[in-house]
């Protein structure tokens, strides 16, 4: 068996959930576990996040998997449903749904459900992705309030720049102006807003990336927020090559040695989810020592500089990201964000839960 594996820490998940709760002590926690819990494994991650008040997912099948695994918390479909049949199934499993467009309201008005469903009515307060326009929000609320198939209505929006200098003020003002006087639960804050804008916390908060120990705010380390990495992506050195000055390694001669160089061949490549576009000098730890990648990442292997780690040979342990190499550090070098790298770990990488 190839030595690459991902280990998921339940204690780190619980710790990060506690950080969210510490920042928003008066709010209920809707843990976002979409995209297979950001690549960490839906059910395993949910067990680590079991103290959450609810779970948010994208697909109805994920909601059903959580229910069948015994989770009784609120479960929310972040894009709602797309067909009447799905609405019937969601209601039967006690799954809540986001309502973000008029056709979903019409579906709720036409259908006959065995029991009403709770909804989160999403306002487009400025992100211009999903949501009822602010000018139509009150009438949409009134329609849902009069609908026999709807029970509790939570008022919801999503911030576009909670992680940036722009902040949330404009969207928050729009949302508050439109919803003033509506005595319903409110859900607004994502990870960045939880950590930066307590005025946006309200009744529910929706932590996502922070639960997995990556930063939601570019330029600020996850550790600065007290977050712990949840995924350890590890492998081993499977071969060692000795380069003379002028010799190269890997496809495209992306790295050419300027000195005698020991090259470690690592059992991990882009087919495992490591970014192909990660450049030379992306951080990596071998045998407990920080070094850097060299050459172009290939499908099944990547390369690292062992010149200054003479004790590292075949079988030496490698951390691609985790406790010693933050996933955000790899992402920054690769020109992306930690979200993408965590979600990109492929099914061929064995994943196990720990503690």
Q: In whole angstroms, what is the distance from residue 125 CA to residue 158 CA?
A: 8
Q: In whole angstroms, what is the distance from residue 68 CA to residue 62 CA?
A: 10
Please confirm, yes or no, whether 303 is among the known catalytic residues: no
The CA-CA-CA angle for residues 46, 339, 234, to 5°, reads 80
> In the structure, what pLDDT confidence band is assigned to residue 26 with cuts at 50, 70 and 90?
very high
Q: How many CB atoms lie within 10 A of CB 179?
A: 21
DSSP state of 319: E
Span 110-133, average pLDDT: 97
Flag whether pLDDT at 164 surpasses 90. yes
Among candidate residues 47, 18, 329, the one with its CA nearest the CA of residue 194: 18
Q: What is the model's pTM?
A: 0.96
Answer for the pair 132, 122: CB distance below 8 angstroms, yes or no: yes
Share of the chain above pLDDT 90, in %: 98
Please confirm, yes or no, whether 34 is among the known catalytic residues: yes
Among the listed residues 34, 270, 303, 339, the single catalytic one is 34
Q: Which helix (H) or strand (E) element contains residue 14? A: helix 10-23
DSSP states of 88-127: HHHHHTT-EEEE-SHHHHHHHHH---SS-EEEEEEEESSS
* Two tokens, residue 39: 């690549």
Answer for the pair 223, 241: CB distance below 8 angstroms, yes or no: no
Across all residues in the chain, what is the average pLDDT? 97
Among the listed residues 137, 180, 228, 251, the single catalytic one is 251
Flag whether pLDDT at 355 surpasses 90. no
Q: In whole angstroms, what is the distance from residue 197 CA to residue 209 CA?
A: 16
Give the pLDDT confidence of 284-326 residue by residue, as tens digits.
999 999 999 999 999 999 999 999 999 999 999 999 999 999 9
Strand positions, DSSP E, 213-288: 231-243, 248-249, 255-256, 261-266, 283-286
């Amino acid at each position: 068996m190839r030595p690459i594996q991902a280990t998921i820490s339940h204690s780190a998940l619980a710790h990060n959930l506690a950080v969210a709760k510490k920042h928003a002590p008066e709010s209920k926690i809707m843990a976002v576990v979409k995209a297979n819990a950001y690549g960490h494994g839906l059910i395993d991650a949910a067990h680590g996040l079991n103290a959450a008040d609810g779970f948010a997912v994208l697909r109805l099948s994920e909601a059903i998997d959580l229910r069948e695994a015994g989770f009784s918390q609120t479960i929310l479909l972040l894009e709602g449903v797309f067909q009447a049949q799905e609405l019937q199934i969601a209601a039967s499993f006690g799954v809540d749904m986001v309502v973000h467009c008029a056709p979903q309201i019409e579906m709720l008005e036409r259908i006959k459900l065995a029991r009403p469903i709770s909804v989160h009515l999403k306002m487009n307060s400025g992100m211009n992705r999903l949501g009822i326009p602010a000018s139509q929000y009150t009438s949409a609320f009134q329609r849902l309030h009069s609908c026999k198939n709807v029970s509790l209505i939570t008022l919801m929006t999503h911030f576009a720049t909670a992680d940036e200098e722009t902040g949330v003020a404009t969207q928050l003002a729009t949302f508050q102006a439109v919803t003033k006087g509506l005595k319903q639960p409110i859900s607004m804050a994502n990870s960045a807003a939880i950590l930066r804008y307590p005025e946006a916390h309200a009744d529910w908060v929706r932590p996502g990336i922070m639960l997995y120990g990556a930063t939601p705010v570019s330029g600020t380390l996850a550790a600065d927020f007290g977050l712990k990495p949840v995924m350890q992506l590890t492998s081993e050195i499977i071969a060692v090559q000795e380069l003379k000055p002028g010799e190269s390694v890997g496809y495209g001669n992306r790295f050419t040695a300027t000195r005698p160089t020991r090259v470690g061949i690592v059992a991990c490549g882009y087919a495992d989810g490591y970014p192909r576009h990660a450049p030379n000098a992306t951080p990596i730890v071998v045998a407990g020592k920080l070094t850097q990648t060299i050459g172009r990442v290939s499908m099944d292997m990547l390369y690292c500089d062992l010149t200054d780690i003479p004790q590292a040979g075949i079988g030496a342990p490698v951390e691609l990201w985790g406790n010693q190499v933050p996933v955000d550090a790899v992402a920054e070098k690769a020109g992306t964000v930690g979200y993408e790298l965590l979600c990109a770990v492929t099914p061929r990488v064995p994943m196990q839960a720990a503690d």
